[in-house]
Chain A
């Protein structure tokens, strides 16, 4: 149980375009989801907390207008990277809060060319 999926698993886009990443809780409802970013050989960095039906809470230094988060249902949160640049290339991971612990998705590898 408590399975989280992400789509796509990897994406390549051109600089200046926008990319949407989906995070779904498959067998449970998640009122709270989290988005992380991970650069090579580094740890996960929390970007934002996504609450169903309300605005996301962003960590310091994360641009809310660049990383748009929508949590419109109890099983789906989306992260849109707007006007992507090569420095946005990273591994994006979502997690969903469960009763016992946080379940993580498999991650999305974004490469901006």
Chain B
């Protein structure tokens, strides 16, 4: 699986958009980009994934650059409940292989 790099922490004001970047410059052509988050003392929660095209669901949007070397997770209207550690993972799938977690980004949403 390709290595990913994320900033260790970010702050966001409640109600504003949170944009979380991820670098995956060594990603291969058939590796997907997955995003999970972990709220304190809970199991990780799936957010979204994509291969080449931008994706949107009820939780977030995923913007992948044309060269696929980086991506951005967008939470359009962050709430206090979005405070969590966000993990960007590049892995083979649809039916994913093992998920190897990096250190992620600690997002703090502030009132």
Contacts and interface: CB of A to CB of B under 8 A. Distances in A.
Contacts, number: 51
Contacts of A6: 43
**Taking chain A's interface residues, is the majority helix, strand, or loop, or is none over half, making it mixed?**
strand
A106 B41 CA distance: 8
Interface residues on A, range: 20 to 34
A101 interface: yes
Interface of A: 4, 6, 34, 36, 43-46, 49, 91, 93, 95, 97, 99-107, 109
25 contacts: A6-B43, A34-B98, A34-B99, A36-B101, A43-B87, A43-B103, A44-B38, A44-B44, A45-B101, A46-B99, A46-B100, A91-B41, A93-B44, A95-B43, A99-B95, A100-B94, A101-B49, A101-B93, A101-B96, A104-B36, A104-B43, A104-B44, A106-B42, A107-B41, A107-B43
Interface of B: 34, 36, 38, 41-46, 49, 87, 93-96, 98-104
